[in-house]
Structure 1
Amino acid sequence: MDYRTLGNSGASVSELTLGTMTFGAEADETTSHQMLDAFVAAGGTLVDTADVYSAGVSEEIIGRWLASHPTEAAQVVLATKGRFPMGEGPNDVGLSRRHLATALDASLSRLGVEHVDLYQMHAWDAFTPIDETLRFLDDAITAGKIGYYGFSNYLGWQLTKAVARAQALGYAPPVTLQPQYNLLVRDIEHEIVPASLDAGIGLLPWSPLAGGWLSGKYRRDEAPTGATRLGEDPKRGMEAWEARNGDERTWSAIEAVASVADAHGASSSQVALAWLLRQPAVTSVILGARTVAQLDDNLGASDLAKQLSDDELARLDASSSPRVDDYPYGTAGVAQRDRKLTGGR
């Protein structure tokens, strides 16, 4: 396992992250602890959770593992999130100082720790002034409750505004952003990736296998069955499945992934993950396994990422390039004018 700095911080983290949304839901506590054991044994350090994952159960499962593995726990870089409701009250949601103070303390209690390395705002809050949120996070760093902070599911302008306000106010800067990013969801390359590169923000992509599509489990025009998330729960996201099934770009990407996988004797999942590891601004890719076997397979992406050739990366890129037909991204005339003004650069 290779290691990278956590965005613009000095902390080092593994290039693969153990995501724990399945803990307490699709994975029971025994399986969850086995995945933590396997991840750490493979050199993994970054463990990501959130207060709303299984209504706090995910954090509790991690907390019990940390307490029973003090040596391994010392190497874990622990990340959690707050923003969404954990209660019925009017202040039990959002990014206000009122809610975040309660949410962070509750997360620390469930995790059984006094400090988390990375505290992330789970989504933008249009009702709370960004200065209030940033002041709370800066205070939480000063109080020793968090080491760094980041965001999740922010748009490009939201990320840039937060970075600029933190700088203007003299607060600690954000270090990471968690976006959905995979070979089938690449629109963040228009705005969010450039904004992250500009600010030195490290990306922690979630859903790197596009809900299982890039694992090679699904077949064109065949409704999912069997041991897949959609197969076990057909009502879950079938409308989205039908839209993706009808998109030729989906099958172009899946076929390209399978071709590269065959050439390396690897799984499709490993190829999709390895592609992400080679993308600009990516710090660590979040693995969302349900079983130890799935996790073990996904961990193989670390070595494969070093083996992918430039030609293979180009084939994967071409199979799934984000659409740029519409304004403002498809403004070929503007691009031509820019090249003339800059001497062809």
Structure 2
Amino acid sequence: MYLSDEELRSLTEKMLGWLRPGGYLFFRESCNHQSGDCKRTFNPTHYRSSANYSHLMTTTLWEESEGAEKQVFGFDIVLNKIVQTYIKMKNNQNQVCWLLEKVGRDTSCQEGFRTFQQFLDNQQYTRNGILRYEKMFGAGYVSTGGPSTTKEFVDLLNLKPGMKVLDVGCGIGGGNFYMAKAFGVEVLGLDLSANMVDIAIERAMEEKLPSVHFEVADATKREFPEGSFDVVYSRDTILHIDDKLALFKRFHSWLKPGGQVLITDYCCGEKPWTPQFHGYVKQRGYILYTPPQYGKFLQQAGFSNVRAEDRTAQFMQVIQTELERAAAMKDEFIKEFSEEDYLAIVNGWSDKLKRCNTGDQRWGLFHATRN
């Protein structure tokens, strides 16, 4: 693209004005997969990272007036992915496409961010934040237990070569690479955080696994034909989603007959919660349920053989192990990040243990099948 950031914002405003509410914008651009922009040393093309495009397009606003009322609109990402035909035909992994939807904006939303994705990428999952999580969980992972719990839970699925797996909330791709290498399956990883997917794509280029793909996508809006996957897999992600029943119905539709869903997620104990836990849940924007409630949602969505287990004891043991590993690599961690980062991680992990000890925070494992 030859447009500057200011020109791109101006064009985005115009396109928001041209579209009706609920309308879609599709576009494709050449990107680089670095954390910053490429320098224009040989031609006037402005190469941006995929995350940079996403930020520019979703932070631009358009105001419309109808009588005395004013409404603010912006773009939400429905889909953001590398164009696979360019990889197959030209070995080019830099062609990226977006599908954006024009939606109304609540300018008073969480922490002052205009979209939930902005909240994730600018507060909870900054690039530095993701990498320090990875330091704790293990290379390629940003979910509880890293490779050890991944191996344990994936073994429940009895994966076979050629199966198709959808990973909702894929993070930076460690579980995807593991499943593809160990079992010969095809994996599509979705995550709403552009920062997560940018790192996953960087790692995918190193791994050179043609059976693993990543998208920035909203699982509550993304569409797949019925029966597209053998497995829907999700680790510690659905806590962000309000209408879990509606999402589980989507999972059920996307699975082939006999397909499986496997989820781990943050859960909660029975109310009343402590004031501290109320504050934590509100600050993070989580929507939490007890493990039995979670299992009921899966049953209501049409799943059978529903297994809903409270794995909080395992969660606490894993956290303790990770804290011990952090203490052992303290100097290395501080050298790679900072002492402030180290303390933030250690205090955060310690707080998880406290919340579990009070009974407020729980961790669940959920496994079910589609008939």
TM-score, with length taken from structure 1: 0.33
- Identify which of structures 1 and 2 has the higher relative contact order when contacts are C-alpha pairs closer than 8 Å and 6+ apart: 1
Query: 1 or 2, which has the higher strand percentage?
Result: 2
TM-score, with length taken from structure 2: 0.31
